[in-house]
Every structure is written in structure tokens, then in C-alpha cells.
């Protein structure tokens, strides 16, 4: 059954990839239908992070767009959908065109974490695995059938620089992240990941397994982020005031 499911998902992803490749820019709402406030659980921030990592040019709906995107039908419209599920958090993401037609829908991402922030982070990251599987690459096509409709942003702001950080794919913008380092930490296994302790021993960071190898969701005090490897080194990465912080972690597993 798993074999047939994999073949089915691969075929669907391949077909969809022929469509998403026609679009360069994705618009992200600051509030989704199931959330109560803007960027609740940092879903908009995490979505932009993952979209840029997948290769898209992503903007919040409140941001000003390049002149090349004055045609609203040259844009993809992103949304996160929460499904009803008992004792689990289940999400999937969709991309729609300017007419509301679904161009791509991801697989469901799930989490059994009780902490809402961790649960939504884990579920959304898992949903994005099928987005990465598209191996997106922008291939513009001429479209003379749809008239251009100018987009007038409500409040022009300076577009934040989103920085891809994981090697699927990498970006030269990654070098702009602020990089810090810590002393050697030691990994102690837990039921769903590891806790990284210093020589005291004091718990410094807690990391939680995902279905992606060497990719963990992480918590350091009140800071939520990801724990990943780049060039055979470990990094704790998170956003602070819309700036990517990349903290090099020396850890012994």
C-alpha cells in the first residue's frame, strides 16, 4: 500500500510541478482562517522561511511588490488549511492562481505535540516536504490571455530579506545571517528527540525529531527555531525582529 501511495504522490507532485514552475512570486497572508491574530504561532513567518528555502520569491500581503509583479495573475496565492483531527494537529498548504483555482496542494503534515507552537511548527514543516519534492524552478511562460491588473499595496513597507538556510536548495543570501557560537553541548536522548546540556549539566536547548533527517524543531528558553546541519556542523536558527539568527552549536551526540 505504501508503495502505491508513494507512486501516486510522486505522479501528483510531478503534474503540479509543471504549474508552480510558471510562477516566481508567492503572496502569504498574515492571518489564516483558523488563527485569531496575525502571524499566530509564527505561521506566516515560518511559511515565508520555507517558501524561500524551496526557491520561491515570497512576500507578505502587506509588503510592496516589484514592478514585475503588477499583474495579479502572475502571482501564486498561498494558504494554510487546518483539518479537523482528534488529539493531533493536522495542516496542509495550498497554492492558488488569481482565479482561486488550486495549482498545488501539499500532503498533510501532522503533530502530536501538546504545545501549540511546537505542534503547528512541526505539522507545517512536514507539509512542506511535498513542496520541496517538487524541486521547484521558475520557468516563465508567456500568457497573453489574462489582462494585467495593477496591485496597489495598502501600506508600502520595505520587503524583508528572506534567507534560505537548509541545503534544499541553498542560497548565497544565507551568508547574511548573523552567526554566533556556543561552548560544547552534550546530547541526551528524550522520548521525542534530545536535550542538549552543558557541563553543569544544564539543559540549554531541546530539539524534537521530524520526519526529515538531521532536521529538528528546537526550543531555547522562549525562542522557537530549527536545529539543522550545514557543512557537517550544527546550527540553531531562528528569526529575531525579522532577521535570521544562525547560532553555531558544538554538540556531541
Share of the chain above pLDDT 90, in %: 39
CA distances from 182 to 71, 190, 198, 235 (A): 47, 22, 10, 10
Residues 2-132, CATH architecture: 3-Layer(aba) Sandwich (3.40)
DSSP type of residue 200: S
Quote the pLDDT of residue 155.
47
- CA–CA gap between residue 253 and residue 159 (Å, rounded): 39
The C-alpha cell that represents 215 in the structure block: 532536521
Closest CA to 54 of 93, 101, 85, 4: 93
Q: Tell me what the pLDDT averaged over the chain comes to.
A: 80
- Model confidence at 181, pLDDT cuts 50, 70, 90, reads low
Give the lowest-confidence range in 165-169, 209-213, 222-226, 245-249: 165-169
- CA–CA gap between residue 91 and residue 41 (Å, rounded): 13
Q: Is the pLDDT of residue 50 over 60?
A: yes
Angle value at C-alpha 223, between 253 and 81, nearest 5 degrees: 100
Q: What is the chain's percent helix, strand, coil content, to nearest 5?
A: 25, 35, 40
- CA–CA gap between residue 44 and residue 203 (Å, rounded): 29
Is residue 187 within 8 A of residue 251, CB to CB? The reply is yes
Strands in 185-190's sheet, in edge-to-edge order, are: 178-181, 243-249, 233-240, 223-230, 215-220, 203-209, 193-197, 185-190, 251-252
| Top-confidence range, 106-115, 132-141, 148-157, 242-251 | 106-115
User: Rg of the Cα trace of the chain?
Assistant: 19
The stretches of 28-99 forming alpha helices (DSSP H) are 43-54
Residue ranges of the chain assigned to CATH 3.40.50: 2-132
Quote the pLDDT of residue 8.
40
Chain Cα centroid distance, residue 147: 31
Pairing of strands 233-240, 243-249: antiparallel
Q: What is the pLDDT of residues 7-27, one digit of tens each?
A: 444 444 444 444 799 999 999
Amino acid at each position: 500500500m505504501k508503495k502505491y501511495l508513494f507512486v501516486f504522490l510522486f505522479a501528483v507532485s510531478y503534474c503540479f510541478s509543471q504549474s508552480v514552475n510558471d510562477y516566481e512570486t508567492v503572496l502569504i497572508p498574515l492571518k489564516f482562517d483558523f488563527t485569531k491574530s496575525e502571524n499566530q504561532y509564527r505561521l506566516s513567518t515560518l511559511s515565508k522561511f520555507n517558501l524561500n528555502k524551496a526557491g520561491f520569491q515570497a512576500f507578505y500581503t502587506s509588503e510592496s511588490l516589484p514592478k514585475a509583479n503588477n499583474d495579479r495573475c502572475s502571482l501564486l496565492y498561498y494558504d494554510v488549511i487546518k483539518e479537523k483531527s482528534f488529539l493531533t494537529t493536522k495542516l496542509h498548504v495550498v497554492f492558488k492562481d488569481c482565479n482561486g483555482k488550486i495549482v498545488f496542494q501539499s500532503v498533510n503534515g501532522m503533530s502530536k505535540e501538546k504545545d501549540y507552537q511546537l505542534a503547528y511548527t512541526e505539522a507545517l514543516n512536514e507539509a512542506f516536504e511535498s513542496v520541496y519534492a517538487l524541486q521547484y524552478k521558475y520557468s516563465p511562460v508567456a500568457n497573453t490571455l489574462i489582462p494585467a491588473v495593477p496591485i496597489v499595496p495598502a501600506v508600502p513597507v520595505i520587503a524583508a530579506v528572506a534567507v534560505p538556510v537548509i541545503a534544499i536548495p541553498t542560497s548565497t543570501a544565507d551568508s547574511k545571517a548573523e552567526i554566533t557560537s556556543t561552548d560544547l553541548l552534550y546530547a541526551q536522548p528524550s522520548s521525542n528527540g534530545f536535550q542538549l546540556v552543558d557541563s553543569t549539566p544544564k539543559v540549554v536547548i531541546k530539539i524534537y525529531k521530524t520526519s526529515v533527517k538531521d532536521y529538528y524543531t528546537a526550543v531555547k528558553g522562549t525562542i522557537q527555531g530549527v536545529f539543522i546541519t550545514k557543512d557537517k556542523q550544527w546550527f540553531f536558527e531562528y528569526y529575531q525582529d525579522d532577521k535570521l539568527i544562525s547560532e553555531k552549536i558544538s554538540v556531541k551526540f
